A and B are shown apart, each in its own frame.
Chain A
């Protein structure tokens, strides 16, 4: 099945550093969502974006819906140990044809060094 291109695949950073990850697609998306998944658990929603150009923050997290509707980025400022986990982008492709079918990125594994 289709997956979004997400980069980087993994990151190992120092506590307090800022983090940036992005997601790209060859096709247009109607929505972009960012989730975080801890081991053995389901993804937890972080930020939802619904309009091209939209910039939304949730605490130390900021995400943007790309103008072309083919990409999105997520920034985490001043990372802390509990930021460790796998981050997924997801979205509704324009050709979903109705319904609620999400396409997911390949994930970015974030590790934070104290």
Chain B
């Protein structure tokens, strides 16, 4: 099976702009989770989507949002970008049945100038 894919791999934006990142899960996986990774805070959970519904949410401001489509592909959006949003954004997929192993994509490296 193909792994988790994320696009784009790299992105440069300026403060105040918005950005949309995309994730395609492993075929057959219905749960998609998003994480932010920074040197200072490590890996932090953003949110999880399952069957097009947000099932879990981390402690991030409302500028961070996401959605999931009927084919389980997911997007996350960050509006009004701040310098501190520069990070590696990771998407992970799992079958969706419970407390399962998550498989990660390569990430999108976002730089906010």
A99 to B94, CA, bound (A): 11
Is A42 part of the contact surface with B, judged by Cβ < 8 Å? yes
User: Is the pair A101, B107 in contact by a Cβ cutoff of 8 Å?
Assistant: no
Between-chain CB contacts (< 8 Å), 6 pairs: A1-B58, A40-B107, A41-B107, A43-B104, A97-B56, A102-B43
Residues of A participating in the B interface, judged by any CB pair closer than 8 Å = 1, 3, 30-31, 33, 35, 40-45, 48, 88, 90, 92, 96-107
User: Is the pair A30, B106 in contact by a Cβ cutoff of 8 Å?
Assistant: no
Instruction: Give min CB distance, A27 to chain B, whole Å.
Output: 15
Interface size on B, residues (CB 8 A): 31
A90 to B44, CA, bound (A): 11
Contacts of B33 in A (CB 8 A): 100-102
Interface string of B69-113 (1 = CB under 8 A from A): 000000000000000000000101010101111111111010000
A42 to B102, CA, bound (A): 11
A92 to B90, CA, bound (A): 18
User: Is the pair B55, A3 in contact by a Cβ cutoff of 8 Å?
Assistant: no
User: Is the pair A42, B56 in contact by a Cβ cutoff of 8 Å?
Assistant: no
A3 to B38, CA, bound (A): 13
User: Is the pair B99, A1 in contact by a Cβ cutoff of 8 Å?
Assistant: no
CB < 8 Å neighbour of B48 from A30, A90, A99, A107: A99
